[in-house]
Amino acid sequence: MDKILIANRGEIAVRIIRSCRELEIPAVAIYSEADRTAPHVLMADEALCVGPAPSIDSYLNVERILDAAQASGANAIHPGYGFLSENASFARSIINAGLIWIGPAPDTLDLMGDKVAARGLAASVGAPTVPGSTEPVTDLTSAEQTANEIGYPVLIKAAGGGGGKGIRVVENQKQFRSAYERARSEAASAFADDRVYVEKMIVKPHHVEVQIFADGKGNIVCLGERECSIQRRYQKIIEETPSPFIKASIRNELSTLAVDIARACRYTGAGTVEFLVGEDQSYYFLEMNTRLQVEHPITEMVTGIDLVAEQIRAASGQPLSIRQQDIQPSGHAIECRIYAEDGFDNFTPSVGTILELTAPGGPGVRLDHGIREGLEITPYYDPILGKLCTWGTTRPEAVARMARALEELRIIGIRNTVPFCMAVMHHPVFKKGTYCTHFISDFQSDLEAWATQDPDQLVEVAALGAALFAESSPATQHEPEHSQVEESLWARSGRERQVSQ
């Protein structure tokens, strides 16, 4: 492989550039007009503009991306996650242009990207699936009928997508129509496919996924599982490995099924098989993510394997260098996703300028991010700013280390999920490791209470800081530079006061 173009942005583009560097392969970044000075552009060996800010005109613009590959002389493309990473026609255009696609074959993407076909394939190797519609539904009447047959609560999910977009929970028949319309419309805008399916909701579920890696030559290994049950709006926010919930026998069964599924769909590269595990440890195949996952670093931390480097090796035709018996996961790793969202205001996105950034360090800490001081966070893209991961020899050590690293991480200027993640690390249910996917909704008020407790002494320090600042620089008092952001924060503070009264 001579040169790799990374068809992505943000933290994942930075992550891929790092592996390229270590393999001594030049890395080419692409960027939208809004991302001209983003860290992935600053880090890359070459960078080419692929269009205006909206993703549809830039990071999803296949023609411009292929032009950029040609102009830079890149002979391979890494798609990262999201954007075009699971788009079979993009993969085909790359292969047809004589370039290397770092990912599974387009036919595999087609097969596993169709949720219904994927469930059929999983069932054929013996993986149980959640009861629900066997075909995507396009009319309200049959969708509603299916829901009535399997019984409420049900989920409505996009047939063509993932990542939590286009998913709606319906508690009863009365809510069905509105939820169905929203899910279809979200699915249409996110995946250009408005088909949805309806399925039974599993009570107190856990989201457990298995990382596999295949070299395309018949060698497939399993790299352990990840528990991804801390979710908001059906999107993951905190993940850990190993799962503190599943029994060893279930772990073995899930691993075997994941490898069997990968074999059945002729998989190449890094892939993830997602399962829903009920309270009683009964499990169901959900879907296969045919790309690198956001949360791949925790698997890397416990296995010591660089998944991106392995992807590059597999795409260049090299057989797997590791055998299953060489993979001995060690210790425990946790990831906290740092989103530009307010965890205590319904995860409302926050935009603005990063005024200050201090990264944590020390033993067992890994921070993957795509931000810098002075960078403006725009509403055009996914709100992920970065991922903080910690490793410990035991789970309590990894949790304590995460709490410590979150305290060290300072992102000033926009609201973010750091305080929320801290509150989770201190919650007794999380510490015990007995949480399910309802954790956030069940314990939102505990988390908020923890995060808003004001030790008297700190309140006084804040007052002191403000007064000294005002006294020493009276001229700046009434010239807000970031008035828009601040006004809304003030409004929010006002609401908090009203609520507490």
Partner 1 sequence: MIFQATIGERTIRLNITRKGGQPFVALEDDTPNLDLVQISPFSYSLLVDHHSHHLSIRSSREGYMVDLRRRTYFVRLRDDLDLTIEKLGLNETGQDHSGQVLAPIPGLITGVSVVKEDEVASGDKLLILEAMKMENEITAPMDGIISAVYVSPGEIVEKGALLIEIHRH
- Interface with partner 1 by CB under 8 A: which residues? 165, 182, 185-186, 189-190, 233, 348-351, 355-356, 379, 381-383, 406-407, 410, 412-413, 415, 418-419, 422, 451-452, 454, 456-472, 476-484, 486-490, 493, 496-497, 500
Those residues with Cβ within 8 angstroms of residue 7's Cβ, 6 or more apart along the chain or in another chain: 30, 59, 65, 77, 78, 79, 80, 83, 84
- Cβ proximity to partner 1: between 445 and 477 the closer is 477
Is the previous residue joined to 52 through a cis bond, with omega within 30 degrees of 0?
no
Both tokens of 365, joined, read 């800490």
Residue 317 Cβ vs partner 1, minimum distance, rounded to whole Å: 35
Q: How far is CA 192 from the centre of its chain?
A: 21
- Cβ proximity to partner 1: between 36 and 410 the closer is 410
- Cβ proximity to partner 1: between 242 and 370 the closer is 370
Residue 40 Cβ vs partner 1, minimum distance, rounded to whole Å: 19
At residue 187's C-alpha, the angle toward residues 186 and 191, to 5°, is 120
Residue 280 identity (one-letter amino acid): D
The one catalytic residue in 291, 337, 395, 401 is 291
- Cβ proximity to partner 1: between 160 and 242 the closer is 160
Residue 80 Cβ vs partner 1, minimum distance, rounded to whole Å: 16
Residue 218 Cβ vs partner 1, minimum distance, rounded to whole Å: 38
DSSP letter, residue 66: H
Residue 478 Cβ vs partner 1, minimum distance, rounded to whole Å: 6
Both tokens of 220, joined, read 């497939």
Residue 293 Cβ vs partner 1, minimum distance, rounded to whole Å: 18
At residue 264's C-alpha, the angle toward residues 260 and 270, to 5°, is 75
**CA dihedral sign of residues 11, 16, 19, 21:** negative
Residue 420 Cβ vs partner 1, minimum distance, rounded to whole Å: 10
User: CB count, 10 Å around CB of 492?
Assistant: 15
Length of the chain: 501
Cα distances (angstroms) measured from residue 201 to each of 35, 88, 297: 40, 30, 29
- Cβ proximity to partner 1: between 113 and 242 the closer is 113
Residue 29 Cβ vs partner 1, minimum distance, rounded to whole Å: 22
Q: Exposed/middle/buried for 265, CB within 10 Å: 0-12, 13-18, 19+?
A: buried
Residue 336 Cβ vs partner 1, minimum distance, rounded to whole Å: 13
DSSP 229-267: EEEETTEEEEEEES-SSS-HHHHHHHHHHHHHHHHHTT-
- Cβ proximity to partner 1: between 318 and 483 the closer is 483
Residue 333 Cβ vs partner 1, minimum distance, rounded to whole Å: 23
Concerning whether 291 is annotated as a catalytic residue, the answer is yes
Both tokens of 116, joined, read 């219904």
| Sheet strands (E) in 159-304 | 168-170, 196-200, 206-215, 220-232, 235-241, 268-277, 283-289
- Cβ proximity to partner 1: between 26 and 383 the closer is 383
- Cβ proximity to partner 1: between 326 and 486 the closer is 486
Quick one: CA torsion of 348, 351, 352, 354, rounded to 10 degrees? 80
Cα distances (angstroms) measured from residue 191 to each of 7, 8, 128, 224: 17, 17, 26, 30
Both tokens of 245, joined, read 């919930």
- Cβ proximity to partner 1: between 328 and 457 the closer is 457
Q: Name the nearest CA neighbour of 211 among 294, 123, 120, 153.
A: 294
**CA dihedral sign of residues 59, 63, 64, 67:** positive
What is the spatial distance between Cα 183 and Cα 187, in angstroms, rounded to a whole number?
Answer: 6
β-pairing, 384-392 with 76-78? unpaired
- Cβ proximity to partner 1: between 281 and 493 the closer is 493
User: CB count, 10 Å around CB of 42?
Assistant: 12
**Residues recognised as catalytic:** 291
